[in-house]
Structure 1
């Protein structure tokens, strides 16, 4: 049986080439095997893990720094190995000081992700759209970025510096930090909770590295970044847009609807058959690679196809038996 061809290019190199291209890079947020496989199936060229989505779905807790390094890396390893597209991970604050960041980067790189983002929040961090955030000294964050860049074994591994300073120091403070982080070696900058097109344009014009922006894609009641069309973000000079909460929010809505229908069907005695709400089992199997497994099983379970000639060949003189 012909083996599956290995990846022709490293995920890190693919991501670098995408960032250097002309089109804005759209990176949906993923949190499990279903979501990452769907992103690849739908033709997106890259994805990012959502730290909030992982903390919520994996541990059942809010995104307030409870999920640790090991849980995060383990989840990212399973996600990255499931697809051929590059995946960037959310490494929160780097889990400590610059020395801790150094080791954190190596763990994520070993897990197979193509890059990480590290934020300048005080630990324990909070979801970027929550109130009550605070940030560390920007010089300490610069050292964290420097440590992250020194730690990577692959120079193509992307280090994204995230600043949450807008909520604390305003746009000018965030830009000062972004410039310092770029000089420390960051490959990309992300100012979380940025307020609208004017601030996005100001950040893009002020820093010498690519800018990434987080979009909610229709999530209601976000008090921070307003919704901006992706085409407009590209016109503003944004190189990458992430949508970390889109798939978790869509999944929650779909699951709640399905459970409500199930609950209503119990007293009524009706059979629930809703192909408009639920995919079929063949769809699930196809998404997760079951047809390929069946093909492999058919081949390797075919004992009649084994060539017995080597076993029946005469032993050479002097061969030990």
Structure 2
């Protein structure tokens, strides 16, 4: 890979700045990347008209814990938020001036969020408890949904209890549900592979070139397309890969690692080296950042240099002797 390509800079995710440009240094807590004095701020207005200045990247769910947002009269937890009138998940981050209103389960929108989330989680639990069997979510029945298995074999009381316990376990994991944008051919191939033929048929009747595939299973951010702003010199804590990337936003000890490795910089300032994704996560050493890169990346940690021969080809941006980052577009 040429020196010209290695000198590319990232000002924003998915944006390349061609030479002349500064050599990009890794996104990690070091003197090379000084912490910013302040983050860009936005104004969030409560339903009562109170204005709150919050830094970019703050989660909506965290804002609802502030004293400006009183608790629900019956103690119900918020299930979502209305951002300028649009329903958004609690895990979404502030990126615009807005009016923010909590959505509870005793409202129409809250009930819809609850039912749709449950309809998504229950089949996941069913696949875990009854592998090989396909659950069908059918028509509504009062405030409930009727479901059955494709093989038409009814569940026993013990099996129903096992399914209930697995659903509770998934809820206890508190893993956010996010959406992944994929192309129409990829979406059709996915639904065909998993036997979701009715969904496939509906998809084939649309003219959209992109589809949104819900994702629950936590994963690993396999590249560095985080929102570390090389132009402004700080991390806003928003990863384009959603919750699969473990981001520690803040003015100090900012790092981008993966969700399941043992990097605990924000608390212990060290890496445990106990990564559950050893094939794609590279633990360098203690007190060093845990960098998630392509499984096929040829960065030589022993020699502290990059071979410049990444098999990913045009999708990889080699960024000098410090590290090798795989940038997926």
Question: What TM-score do you get using the length of structure 1 for normalisation?
Answer: 0.24
Task: Answer with 1 or 2: which has the greater Rg.
Answer: 1
Higher strand share: 2
